[in-house]
Amino acid sequence: MVKAKVIEENDEKISILLSDADRAFVNAIRRTLISDTPKMAIDTVRFEMGTIEQDGEIWETNGPLPDEVVAQRLAMIPIPTKHDEFHFQDSCPSCAELVVEDRGCPLCTMIYTCKAFGSEGGRTVTAGDMSFLGAGGSISEKYHSIPITRLSHGQMIEFYATAIMGRGRDHAKWSPVCGIAFSPRQVGVLNVKTRSKILWDLNLTITAKDFDSNGRLEDISKVAQLINDLHHVGEGTEEAMSFKNAITLEDVPGEYILSFESDGSMTARVAFQKAVQELSGRFGELKEDIATVM
């Protein structure tokens, strides 16, 4: 059975050590994180068009960016995703039986509104200017600075944006992760102590004391530092010929390190948990189909 151990984690980034796994399995998790993990994202936007008079001044909805560009920017804003509170529209208890055009209720839809005015020097409208029509769905304060458009005096923007649950395979806006990659876990091997002194003399991060009595370095964080240090004595450097692989890296069979960042719609841990659930469910369905056929 595959084992998972968190190496490093915060709300937006995580590194996980997967043991007793193979490359195909880890790659399946990677693909599921990108394409199949459910996420809320703005799907449709209704722009209010016209002219209004306020405080004796005339304001028009004639901003510098086309509506299509604004809508695209809105789609990439991280909408807080609460998987236990919202459903896909096609499986929503209230909307599943309705035609697509009539779907949309508090169980499957989040609505945001924004009404902003420009200024003499120009004003940047940001995600922080959007208000959620409801409770608990406000955009996280750390993302309030995401720009939407810029308005000058006399210009305004007003819209209603609807967010629904989706998957990254249908559109990139529903992909909750970025910078995702995996690699075999490696350990450092001290082959020749005399030539290794070339690296120690550079006074970088790793020293001879970090290796155990068998000449091995297994600490994951220190191995990552060692990999960076070895660039200073690798191919293309003056020390490469003298160093001659005095220290090498060795793959650990069956162990891989998976790292990625969340887009902010959910924590990195939740994204990983949901990806594993999705993958587990699909393997279960495949097992049932095979049992039926056989």
Q: What is the DSSP letter of 136?
A: S
Q: What's the pLDDT at 81?
A: 96
Kindly indicate the confidence band of residue 280, based on its pLDDT and cuts at 50, 70 and 90. Answer: confident
Model confidence pLDDT, tens digit, residues 19-46: 999 999 999 999 999 999 999 999 999 9
| Residues 57-102: tens digit of each pLDDT | 899 998 899 999 999 999 999 999 999 999 999 999 999 999 988 9
Residue scoring higher pLDDT (138 or 285)? 138
Question: CB of 88 within 8 A of CB of 38?
Answer: yes
- Residue 222: CB atoms within 10 A of its CB come to 17
Which H or E run contains 116? strand 109-117
Output the pLDDT for position 286.
56
The pLDDT tens digits of the residues spanning 109-165 come to: 999 999 999 999 899 999 999 999 988 889 999 999 999 999 999 999 999 999 999
CATH code that applies to domain 39-173:
2.170.120.12
Residue 127 amino acid letter = A
Query: What is the model's pLDDT at position 1?
Result: 80
Q: Where are the domains of the chain?
A: 3-36+178-261, 39-173
- For residues 80, 83, 86, 87, the Cα torsion angle rounded to the nearest 10 degrees is 130
- pLDDT above 60: residue 290: no
Q: What is the mean pLDDT of residues 265-293?
A: 79
Q: What is the CATH number assigned to the segment(s) 3-36+178-261? A: 3.30.1360.10
- Look at residue 282 and tell me whether its pLDDT is greater than 90: no
Q: Does the pLDDT value for residue 291 go beyond 80?
A: no
pLDDT band at 167 (very low <50, low <70, confident <90, very high): very high
What does the alpha-carbon distance between residue 47 and residue 166 come to, in Å, rounded to a whole number?
Answer: 22
54: alpha, beta or left? (left if phi > 0; alpha if psi -120 to 50): beta
Per the structure block, which two tokens stand in for 143? 């993302």
Q: What are the pLDDT digits (tens) for 215-236? A: 999 999 999 999 999 999 988 8
Q: Residue range 212-216: average pLDDT? A: 94
Whether residue 171 is predicted with pLDDT greater than 70 in this model: the reply is: yes
- Do the first three CATH levels of 3-36+178-261 and 39-173 match, i.e. the same topology? no
Give the pLDDT score at 2: 86
Percent of the chain exceeding pLDDT 90 equals 84
Give the angle 176-182-183 at the CA atoms, nearest 5°: 170
